[in-house]
Structure 1
Amino acid sequence: MNHVFLCGNPALDFACTVRARRTAYVEMLNAPDRLDAWFVESGVVDVVSSCGEADLVQAVALREAIYGLVTSRLAGDGYDDQALALVNETACEPPATPQLTATGRWVEATPAQVLSTLARHAIELLSGPEMPLMKECANPECTKLFIDRSRGGRREWCGMESCGNKIKAAAYRARKKEAQTAGAR
């Protein structure tokens, strides 16, 4: 698997295909084949027809619109009209349709159908009961968004393997250094 899916919703995972937006901007969808891979690895579809450059441009525009709407909602700001229009227009297109086969669920789709499905996930998330559970990672270098379904609702990081361990290790080193400095006086 080349992509990470820890946000708790396909629309959030899609919005987070850019890493470290504020610091070292890393684009994960930098070619049509990377978009193909993300669509399949995300589990939204089992097979997608090959994406072209135009599909990639549409996908990035939708991703940025979803990210903008989510961060606006988290900040308590109003929605950007263009982002709202793009998500709504994309959701109006036919979505990916699951089929039941002898071996289980199967979804085969075009890139436009996958984008419609992702836009619908974003709409459901932003207007549904999980909206209050949405957070941004507490690591100042990370810009991942996630749904906090932890029992106490106290999850701070997008994931322990990535940001949580880094922050905890840095805090430990800082405490240890402070104790050594205090002991040397």
Structure 2
Amino acid sequence: MGIELTWEWLDGSPALDFANTVLRRGWTEHELVTSPDALSSWLDAAALPAPRPATVTDDDVEAFLHLRDASLRLLRAAAGHGKRQAGDVRTLNEALLSCPEVVVLDESTGSPVARPVGSPAPFTLLLAKLAGEVRDVLAGPRPDLALCDAPGCGGLFFRRRTNQAWCGPPCGNRARVARHHSANDH
């Protein structure tokens, strides 16, 4: 059974959309970004914090997954599922340091804007911006960050209510049906 790439977002947060490119079926995780075509599809659908690179390569997929895996583990740990690992923090910091920024004034609006130092490759800039989005989620207390533990989900989301257990109604329905079946099996 293949997994169709629909890229249904939980809330449009670049950090969570980045981390949630792994899908759980039952208790098995499935990688959704398996090729340059799959990554291009995600880039077309995602709310990106930087311009979309024109093309992506196998090396870009590898770099994306390396940063995504570290970010996923860090975000899950922040949501109370697992421990933060120093190696994952280093991976995130390396992505941030690969494309340092300075804040300058926009010439037309006079508003502060972040600009990369130098001329980084488009994919390097995108990964640095994604790392920045993850850093921003991790930087402050986020009691609303949660992991949906409904069967077949496992996605990270921001709670809209303090007692919210699932990322959305479909996951809540699946969890209640699974609980009902489990209770009837005994």
Q: Tell me the TM-score normalised to structure 1 length.
A: 0.74
- Is the 1:40–1:46 Cα contact (8 Å) retained in structure 2? no
Gaps of 5+ in 1: 100-108
Which residue pairs with 1:123 in the alignment? 135
Structure 2 residue 174 is the aligned partner of structure 1 residue 166:
yes
Match of 2:65 in 1: 60
In structure 2, the CA distance between the partners of 1:56 and 1:165, relative to structure 1 (3 Å rule), is: same
Asked if structure 1 preserves the Cα contact closer than 8 Å seen for 2:21 and 2:33, the reply is: yes
Using the TM superposition, give the Cα deviation of residue 173 of structure 1 relative to its aligned residue in structure 2, in angstroms. Answer: 5.7
Contact 1:8/1:147, CA 8 A, preserved across alignment: no
Between the aligned partners of 1:7 and 1:111, the Cα distance in structure 2 is: 23
In 1, Cα distance between equivalents of 2:91 and 2:182: 45
Gaps of 5+ in 2: 107-120
State the Cα distance separating 1:114 from its structure 2 match. 1.3
> What is the CA–CA distance in structure 1 between the aligned matches of 2:176 and 2:134, rounded to whole Å?
31
How do 1:106-121 and structure 2 match up within 5 A?
Answer: 110-121=122-133
Q: Are the equivalent residues in 2 in contact too, given 1:49–1:111 (CA < 8 A)?
A: no
| TM-score normalised per structure 2 | 0.74
Q: Determine which structure has the larger helix proportion and give its number.
A: 1
- SS of residue paired to 1:14: helix
Partner of 2:89: 84
Counting aligned pairs with the same residue, the percent is: 27
Residue 31 of structure 1: aligned partner:
35
**For the residues of structure 2 that align with 1:125 and 1:115, how far apart are their CA atoms?**
16
| Matches of 2:164 and 2:12, distance apart in 1 | 13
How many residues align? The count is 163
Q: Which has the larger radius of gyration?
A: 1
Match for residue 136 of structure 1?
Answer: 147
